[in-house]
């Protein structure tokens, strides 16, 4: 009797384990962006890959995706199960169940258009940007997407971000830095300290910003972008992503082996021992304080820095 009490759960566990095992996917493909949705993690990448983890990035399942285009970015409305993934082939996908299943919501007429970043402000308001000044927005949860120009030049728009004050920031090619104080209706140019490409603006608080980009460039601003200070950095590698750690430090990554850590609002940076040797597209801070690196090596969980 004692035995069967032990054996039955063990058998059940064995059976269910093999059933679950079948749906598991090794996160070894090129992954480009990710998002935390409640207790779930969603990551997107090459060939229409969308993976979902419910155990803090330890195991992954493939979501059902009706497309094979490379997806470059994903964003969820705060506190909602509604999310958007965008990518090449002018594609926008939507999910209503926290990333389990995805539907095609919009696709531009010109398939050579590429989205590079998406930002869901809430369940109705979403912005997406991309190559050659591509900018589309919706204010009805994606029923209609409106395309417009926020920049005279056809520069790549690389990343949208939002600060704690509610201000929006947009970083792009040829020193492009934009700011919107009205949730994306009007975009003002920020005086740029650099004419190379920026890959993102990371707001640390209402006034403090960190901009990063080509050739190891890192700039900080303490006045919401009015003036910028160059942070000295000897290694001239692309910095594609930055993330704020729980202790206030900022971790930068991008080209292979280009890892830096910035202390004191990133006023100075120092090389950080690279945990692996391949390039990174996105760093993601997980609720438990660990960092997930997404890139060439797929999804790699870093130990808490």
Site mask for other proteins (CB under 8 A), range 90-129, x = bound: ---------------------xx-x-x-------------
Q: 59 in helix, strand or coil?
A: coil
Nearest to 35 by CA among 228, 225, 201, 243: 243
Question: Is 195 a binder of other proteins (CB under 8 A)?
Answer: yes
Question: Is 12 a binder of other proteins (CB under 8 A)?
Answer: no
- What gap in Å lies between CA 259 and CA 274, rounded to an integer? 6
Only one residue has tokens 């029923």, namely 143
In the list 8, 28, 104, 147, the residue contacting other proteins (rule: CB under 8 A) is 28
Question: Is 134 a binder of other proteins (CB under 8 A)?
Answer: no
Question: Is 25 a binder of other proteins (CB under 8 A)?
Answer: yes
Question: Is 300 a binder of other proteins (CB under 8 A)?
Answer: no
Label residue 50 exposed, middle or buried (CB < 10 Å: 0-12, 13-18, 19+): buried
Beta-strand relationship, 40-45 and 31-37: antiparallel
In the list 61, 257, 272, 302, the residue contacting other proteins (rule: CB under 8 A) is 257
- Interface segment toward other proteins; rule CB under 8 A; list 3-11, 20-28, 162-170, 264-272: 20-28
Site for other proteins in 237-256 (CB under 8 A): 238, 240, 255-256
* Angle at alpha carbon of residue 204, lines to 271 and 122, rounded to 5°: 125
Q: 6 in helix, strand or coil?
A: helix
Question: Is 207 a binder of other proteins (CB under 8 A)?
Answer: no
Residues constituting the chain: 305
236 and 215 Cβ atoms separated by less than 8 Å: yes
**Distances from the Cα of 33 to the Cα of 17, 21, 85, 110, angstroms:** 29, 25, 9, 23
In the list 215, 301, 302, 305, the residue contacting other proteins (rule: CB under 8 A) is 215
The residue ranges that bind other proteins (CB under 8 A) are 25-26, 28-30, 32, 46-47, 68, 70, 72, 88-89, 111-112, 114, 116, 158, 195-197, 199, 214-215, 236, 238, 240, 255-257, 277, 279-281, 295-296
């Amino acid at each position: 009797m004692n035995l069967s009490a032990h054996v039955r759960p063990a058998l059940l566990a064995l059976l269910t384990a093999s059933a679950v095992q079948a749906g598991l996917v090794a996160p070894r493909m090129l992954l480009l962006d990710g998002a935390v949705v409640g207790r779930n993690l969603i990551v997107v990448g090459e060939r229409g890959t969308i993976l979902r983890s419910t155990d803090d990035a330890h195991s992954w399942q493939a979501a059902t995706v009706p497309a094979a285009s490379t997806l470059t970015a994903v964003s969820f409305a705060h506190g909602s199960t509604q999310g958007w993934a965008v990518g090449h082939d002018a594609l926008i996908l939507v999910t209503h169940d926290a990333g389990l299943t995805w539907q095609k919501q919009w696709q531009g007429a010109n398939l050579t258009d590429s989205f590079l970043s998406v930002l869901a402000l809430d369940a109705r308001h979403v912005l997406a940007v991309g190559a050659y000044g591509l900018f589309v927005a919706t204010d009805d949860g994606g029923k209609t997407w409106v395309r417009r120009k926020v920049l005279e030049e056809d520069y790549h728009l690389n990343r949208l971000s939002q600060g704690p004050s509610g201000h929006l920031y947009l970083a792009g090619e040829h020193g492009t830095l934009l700011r919107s104080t009205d949730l994306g209706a009007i975009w003002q140019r920020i005086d740029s300290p650099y004419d190379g490409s920026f890959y993102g603006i990371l707001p640390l608080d209402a006034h403090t910003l960190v901009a990063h980009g080509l050739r190891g460039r890192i700039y900080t601003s303490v006045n919401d972008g009015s003036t910028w200070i160059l942070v000295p950095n000897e290694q001239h590698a692309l910095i594609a992503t930055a993330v704020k750690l729980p202790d206030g430090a900022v971790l930068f990554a991008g080209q292979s082996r280009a890892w830096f850590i910035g202390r004191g609002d990133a006023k100075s940076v120092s090389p950080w021992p690279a945990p692996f040797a391949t390039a990174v597209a996105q760093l993601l801070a997980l609720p438990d304080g660990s960092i997930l690196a997404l890139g060439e090596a797929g999804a790699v969980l870093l130990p808490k820095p």
